[in-house]
Amino acid sequence: MHPVAFQWGPLVIRWYGVMMAITVLATAAMALRMGPRLGVPAREIDRLILPFVLFAFVGARLGYVLSHPAEFISPVEILRIYHGGLTSHGAIAGGFATLWWASRRRGLPLWSLADATVWAVPLGNIFVRFGNFMNGELYGDVTALPWAVTFPGVPGPRHPLQIYEMILAGVILALTVPLVARRRFPGQVFWSVVVLTSVGRILLDLLRSEDRVFGVVTLGQIPAAFLIVVGLSFLFRSHREQRPGA
């Protein structure tokens, strides 16, 4: 593994950046395809792509800064994107803030917008996690399993958690894409994806003991648990309201 995908003189193209670009393109393609099926015109999706990406990136960066304050001595370092990293939950928050803004400003249905664009979550976990794998980061605990990976500069073969998350994201896509055709209420697709992803995050983080903040809990598990509670509450309440005579 190597973080650089291509280098020509001073021009350096890194795998992480390539995977981020592919995530944006794949998410845009999925949203443009799913939007009209969910009651959101393709032209509205097209207008939303740029601000969605920008706010998701800003949210991802701020999420990392807030969860790792000791790494930033001065506010200027926040702008140095090569220092530190990004967080998936921050990206979700930033992206959702964009959807809320668009729904208020343009009179679009918020939860249908969320259903059309939520594919950024599993697609990001497929492509961006590959970039993390090539960077040799976000690995799990030491293991003797036959598929363990030895990362450069890291002692012992490790659980390739990046690969686990990629596989999980593929399964989530397989389960939730068909849900679009039989959606019973707006928001069902969004919260189904978010809840399944959050459950996977909590389980996989059990293999990341070096990142625990207290007991067996990691920083990533805390927002994941919050999203599970909110998502299940939304899904159960909406299902109940759909029952005849409710």
Global pTM? 0.90
Beta carbons of 35 and 44 less than 8 angstroms apart: yes
- Structural tokens at position 19: 């995977």
Tokens of 173: 């896509």
Mean pLDDT of the residues in the chain: 89
225 close to 167: Cβ distance less than 8 angstroms = no
How far apart are alpha carbons 201 and 220 in whole angstroms?
Answer: 7
pLDDT at 76: 67
pLDDT at 123: 95
In this structure, what DSSP letter does residue 166 have?
Answer: H
Ramachandran assignment for 187, one of left (phi > 0), alpha (psi -120 to 50 degrees), beta (any other) = left
Residue 4: per-residue pLDDT: 84
Share of the chain above pLDDT 70, in %: 91
The pair phi, psi for residue 6, each rounded to 5°, is: -155, 140
Which H or E run includes 33?
helix 15-34
Bridge partners of 6, per DSSP, are 13
Residues of the chain with pLDDT under 50: none
Task: Report the pLDDT value the prediction gives residue 66, as an integer from 0 to 100.
Answer: 76
Pairing of strands 217-218, 212-214: antiparallel
CA-closest candidate to residue 204, choices 188, 190, 194, 216: 216
SS3 letters across 44-81: HHHHHHHHHHHHHHHHHHHHHHHHCHHHCCCHHHHHCC
Quick one: which of 192, 189, 183, 140 has its CA closest to 161? 140
Check residue 70 and give its pLDDT.
67
- The neighbouring-strand residues paired with 13 are 6
* The two three-digit tokens of residue 180, written as one number: 């679009």
